[in-house]
Chains A and B, each alone.
Chain A
């Protein structure tokens, strides 16, 4: 049994409404929204998704955690991403740009969380020492898959995977993300194999 802290993305707690209860069948799980205070210790597996991943990375660079998972995060705040957050107040635009070609799901976007992006500190990746799993998304039009590869490049002890989804990986393929988190909790030093 591990202790997970999950930081969701633009949808807030709704982003983890599958993963959190299912992970909690075997682990201790708490969900910390991107604006909430974040406390970790050396036993915490810290999981961040989207803007939550940026917050998680920044936190892990300066605080103790046992392991880190960064899902659809970014290493740099690009003009493209900033531009997206401005347009994503339009619900239909946000929905269509967040999912990949195989999904008809409708991820939630909380407008106040869009405005956070600009204010998030850029993580000092070189200071992250814990085992880290970086998961990007092939069809991510928001953060872009390349940003996950940069996170992987900047973190010393990292593995990298790419899911065939859009930015809304947690909404499109929650069970697959769950399987990766479970496997990583058991063997943080092994690249999880996607079992499907």
Chain B
């Protein structure tokens, strides 16, 4: 349906209206779109700023990009795929999967449509979205913008004067040929661990700038046999059975991070044994040994990161990069390294999501509301922002299990909330109570007291705002109960 703007003139341009506007066409946006359409709610529009769907799996195309969670678990339960070739999927396989999944809702996806501003219209009880493609209105706004979407590049003195080539791992320049090049890899997180060995095998020399050493455990990957894939295709219940097995095994990983010192110790031993197996030189090994508790930062999986240092003579600098002088990268430790290419594997703007500045609720922007760190009732609804849902936002991430399970829990919450007779706004008291409970649960855990700096924690206040400090099944249960409270006769959960 279309309606005219309140300030309509004689030449009225009708403003398209959609019941549910979804911003972002990654896993969360496509997942919600599929569920809405399959439940018969077809009045929705997905706005995507890029030229294709796929979110983080569209943006990250660096060599070696792959997922750390088994493919059958890292996919939508209502859109399974019998054709995963290996236990762990490569990035392009996940992107292709999302492209295929999106086909079913493609007419309702608007690509190349960045949403520049989202404003709550109190009088008409709807959201006004200004996109590059024009103005839209929507009864309900769902922010499915992801949490690892906008690359972060640290402040580095004289970086603009760098004479070589530089780019972020999520904005890979495929025209750059690394053969014969001296390359600086800045960072030692999930992306760096995957891409460094691939660059090292072709480059003349690689230097890794490591702010803090990661814990790395073996990647237990293998190809599925033709018989297994044939069975998945012929009997989808086999996929369900495998997903269940993978999910509950992954859930045990939470005990390593909270509540069971003997399991934490076993996990630490496993990682350090893997390090010892991969690096012969004891001095190098020491410099690759983390100085914080395992689980504080994301535990990485790789079989070729550690061996790459000795196999390809990779230089390890145990400090961040501080400055650039022409073609020289200078570490905070004062060491100088001549390089032709700098690759920033430095992660994303996670604690302060850029989209929040463009969402204006009753009295403030979402960025203002989140000045003390992201917060939301049920990790999904924000006080003062009626008829709005945030997917993948505050305390909806996980370190030990599939992010897709968390997204599906939130999608289910949204579908519950959109049912007739539910409140579509939460009170500040409800949001406060939820936040206090989570802050209390996070206190003293490995994420806040483990002795590391991680993107799980908001650096402005030390609050654990990105991670759910519990089991994945606990998140689903908590959201189901929170959704039920929306149906209280008084309208708002308290």
Which A positions have Cβ atoms within 8 angstroms of B?
Answer: 17-18, 21-22, 24-25, 102, 164, 173-176, 178-179, 182-183, 194-196
Contacts and interface: CB of A to CB of B under 8 A. Distances in A.
Contacts of B254: 22, 175
B247 A22 contact: no
Given A22-B255, A183-B477, A175 B248 contact: yes
A102 B473 contact: no
Given A21-B259, A25-B259, A175-B252, A196 B244 contact: yes
The 10 closest A-B pairs by CB, nearest first: A175-B251, A196-B247, A195-B473, A176-B248, A179-B473, A195-B476, A21-B260, A173-B248, A25-B259, A196-B244
Main secondary structure on B side of the interface with A? helix
A111 to B, nearest CB: 25
A150 B245 CA distance: 26
A89 B245 CA distance: 29
B88 interface: no
Interface string B451-494: 00000000000000000000111101100000000000000000
A195 B477 contact: yes
B243 interface: yes
Contacts of A173: 248-249
Interface string B249-292: 10110110011101100000000000000000000000000000
Contact of A18 (B244, B252, B258, B477): B252
Contacts of B222: none
B245 A18 contact: no
Contacts of A164: 241, 244-245
5 contacts: A17-B262, A22-B259, A173-B249, A182-B477, A195-B476
A106 to B, nearest CB: 15
Given A18-B260, A21-B260, A179-B471, A196 B255 contact: no
B473 A22 contact: no
A21 B262 CA distance: 10
Given A179-B251, A195-B472, 7 more contacts: A22-B260, A102-B245, A175-B473, A178-B471, A179-B471, A179-B474, A182-B477
Contacts, number: 54
Nearest to B476: A195
B186 to A, nearest CB: 37
Nearest to B242: A102
Contacts of B258: 25
Contacts of A182: 474, 477
Interface-centre pick from A102, A182, A195, A196 (highest chain B CB count, 10 A): A196
Contacts of A194: 244
A18 B262 CA distance: 10
Contacts of B251: 175-176, 179, 196
A194 B77 CA distance: 14
A176 to B, nearest CB: 4
Contacts of B260: 18, 21-22
A194 B243 CA distance: 13
B476 A18 contact: no
A151 to B, nearest CB: 23
Nearest to A21: B260
B255 A21 contact: yes
Contacts of A196: 243-244, 247-248, 251, 405, 473
Nearest to A180: B473
Nearest to A196: B247
Contacts of B243: 196
Interface-centre pick from B248, B252, B473, B476 (highest chain A CB count, 10 A): B248
Contacts of A195: 472-473, 476-477
Nearest to B73: A196
Interface in B206-252: 241, 243-245, 247-249, 251-252
Contacts of A102: 241, 245
Contacts of A179: 251, 471, 473-474, 477
A162 to B, nearest CB: 12
Nearest to A25: B259
A174 B252 CA distance: 7
A174 B249 CA distance: 8
Contacts of A174: 252
Contacts of B262: 17
Interface string B184-214: 0000000000000000000000000000000
Interface-centre pick from B243, B251, B472 (highest chain A CB count, 10 A): B251
A194 B476 CA distance: 10
Interface-centre pick from A174, A175, A176 (highest chain B CB count, 10 A): A175
Contacts of B248: 173, 175-176, 196
A176 B255 CA distance: 13
A164 B474 CA distance: 21
B278 to A, nearest CB: 24
B255 A18 contact: yes
Contacts of B473: 175, 179, 195-196
A195 B475 CA distance: 10
Interface-centre pick from B244, B262, B472, B473 (highest chain A CB count, 10 A): B473
Contacts of B241: 102, 164
A136 B258 CA distance: 29
A102 B474 CA distance: 24
B472 to A, nearest CB: 8
Contacts of B476: 195
A174 B474 CA distance: 14
A175 B262 CA distance: 16
A170 to B, nearest CB: 12
A17 B255 CA distance: 11
Nearest to A23: B259
Contacts of A18: 252, 255, 260, 263
A64 to B, nearest CB: 29
